[in-house]
Amino acid sequence: DYYQPEAYIPQTDTYIEKDSSINEAIERLRIAASSSLISRRDVIVIASVSCIYGLGSPEDFKAMMLPLEPKMQMARDTLLERLVEILYDRNDIDFKCGTFRVRGDVVDIFPAYMESAIRVEFWGDQVECIV
């Protein structure tokens, strides 16, 4: 992660704009650690200094979790609406972390904390399987 705060140097009348970039691998680990802390009790986190940046309140993080399991009753469109609510982008072409794509009754989701996507298959208004 990189962060350059904005600055002004009066002697040279120079303004330096704020700049930042996020390392996707570190961000994925940060989110995975937060998820583990909320859902489990047996967690030890050993982290770099860059991980001190806040993710928000645990309550907000929990509210953005979307539990899915096979045989669960949920319409495909309800899942799509919920993904958009928790700030996932639908992108059928550039499939990457934080996006989802739809092909008929199949929804591929690329969670921000995982290195690969999951596939949710529907049969009517029921989650048939998760791969």
Q: What is the total count of domains within the chain?
A: 2
- Count the helices and strands in the chain (H runs, E runs): 3, 9
35/40 Cα distance (integer angstroms) = 8
Residues 75, 55 share a domain: no
- Of 11, 39, 65, the domain-final residue: 65
Specify whether the CB–CB gap between 61 and 34 falls below 8 A. Answer: yes
Residues 92, 54 share a domain: no
CATH number of domain containing 99: 3.30.2060.10
Residues 70, 51 share a domain: no
Length reported for the chain? 131
This prediction's pTM: 0.68
Residues 125, 79 share a domain: yes
Q: Which residues make Cβ contacts (< 8 Å) with residue 131, sequence separation at least 6? A: 118, 119, 121
Among residues 116, 108, 120, 110, the alpha carbon closest in space to that of 74 is found at 120
Asked if the model's pLDDT at residue 55 lies above 70, the reply is no
Residue 23 pairs with which residues in a beta bridge?
none
Tens digits of residue pLDDT in 78-120: 999 999 999 999 998 999 989 999 999 999 999 988 889 999 9
Residues 61, 71 share a domain: no
Residues 76, 111 share a domain: yes
Residues 104, 53 share a domain: no
The predicted structure's pLDDT at residue 17: 86
Specify whether the CB–CB gap between 112 and 31 falls below 8 A. Answer: yes
CA 6 to chain centre: 27
The predicted structure's pLDDT at residue 53: 63
Residues 79, 52 share a domain: no
Residues 44, 34 share a domain: yes
Tens digits of residue pLDDT in 21-52: 777 777 788 788 878 877 877 878 777 666 66
Domain around 125 = 66-130
Type of residue numbered 106:
V
Residues 22, 10 share a domain: yes
Residues 58, 34 share a domain: yes
